[in-house]
Structure 1
């Protein structure tokens, strides 16, 4: 069994890794531990975290929101992921798979609007508002990053009170919707999951 450590942004991401991703990856021979950074994500903090974190596992990855990345300086997600590895020894780089979520964890929820509405006890109108946001932006992963239009802000307007319940409901919604359904709507996220699945296959 490959031991995988995932450095995550906060409680919502930790709950997702522990209750959704962990049982999924165990089917591929990968066991997972999530370690939260508790927000304030920056390249300096991430690099410091990875240098120590990587020594406790066979492989490590990350799961941070692009929207809350401090001092991104206009860099794209891919550029930030590459920058995470800059300055690290090659032997460490090969053990790290950087991943940043476009634009927030809540983007994944826009891939499963029916399940969101069901668990948050909403109505069809709210499901349609989520679908309209995806249609407007092009995909769940493109629901954009401005303060008023970021995924969590949109959900907060569609479902008042969501912000106070996201640690409870975020992972539960994705677990009940099924990872396969989420991956269909979020191809970039799906590529990351595939990379983690392959860790177990490489070790076999």
Structure 2
């Protein structure tokens, strides 16, 4: 067994790791340890948890975790490409091209900035809610709304696949989900639907996600 730390953007991402990814990858010999990004401390209060506003905060947290966990095989990230701080490495010189080409450019620049052999960056195209579009049928069943499943599938198909659902301020996956299903609870409903879908199916629907999972599995040397 190997251990991989996953730096998560917030509670939704932590739930996705704990409830979905960790059980799926355990059988492959990987123990995932999710932790939420520390975003600072309020005077007289505990450290803030979740959300991201500046690259420096992400970098500080990543370097701390890499330095204090030499027994982990790797440290990876589960951060949304949508809303990533504009001062993050690679954001200011993204190439013209597909969303996947652009996000992979940013991931490479982040890897170059951290420059650590145990660091494996991953940014979700475009949010973890993207995975719910892949699990449209399961989301519809959970919400007991067949029309919702059809609408999510229609939007994903129109975008060329779930990862193509874009990162506009009004058209990002989370915004679309809330319009289609105002009762949507991101920390509960999404992880339930995606868990019901399963890892094999999500990898088939989301090529960039599939590449990340492949990289994690490669760490086992099997």
After TM superposition, the score normalised by the length of structure 2 is: 0.83
2-structure distance, mates of 1:184, 1:130:
17
Count of paired positions: 196
Q: Which has the higher contact order (CA 8 A, sep 6+)?
A: 1
Find the aligned partners of 2:61 and 2:4 in 1 and give their Cα distance: 15
The equivalent position to 1:174 in structure 2, one of 183, 194, 202, is 194
**Counterpart selection for 1:49 from 58, 61, 67:** 61
Report the Cα distance in structure 1 between the residues aligned to 2:200 and 2:80, rounded to whole angstroms. 21
SS in 2 for 1:157: helix
Structure 2 equivalent of residue 110 of structure 1? 133
Question: Structure 1 stretch 5-14 or stretch 27-36: which is displaced more?
Answer: 27-36
Does the CA contact (< 8 Å) of 1:43 and 1:83 recur in 2?
Answer: no
Gaps of 5+ in 1: none
Q: Distance in 2 between matches of 1:158 and 1:7?
A: 29
Corresponding position of 1:33: 33
1:40-61 deviation digits (Å, cap 9, x = unpaired) = 1543222222111113122110
Q: Give the CA RMSD over aligned residues.
A: 1.6
SS in 1 for 2:182: coil
Tell me which residue corresponds to 2:155. 133
Give the gaps of 5 or more residues in structure 2: 38-49, 95-101
For residue 86 of structure 1, give the secondary structure of its aligned residue in structure 2.
helix
CA distance in 1, matches of 2:81, 2:200: 23
User: Would the aligned equivalents of 1:5 and 1:60 in 2 still touch at CA under 8 Å?
Assistant: yes
Q: State yes or no: 1:70 paired with 2:85.
A: yes
Deviations 1:125-181 (A, max 9, x none): 22221122112211100001111111111111111121xx11012111111121111
Larger helix share, 1 or 2: 1
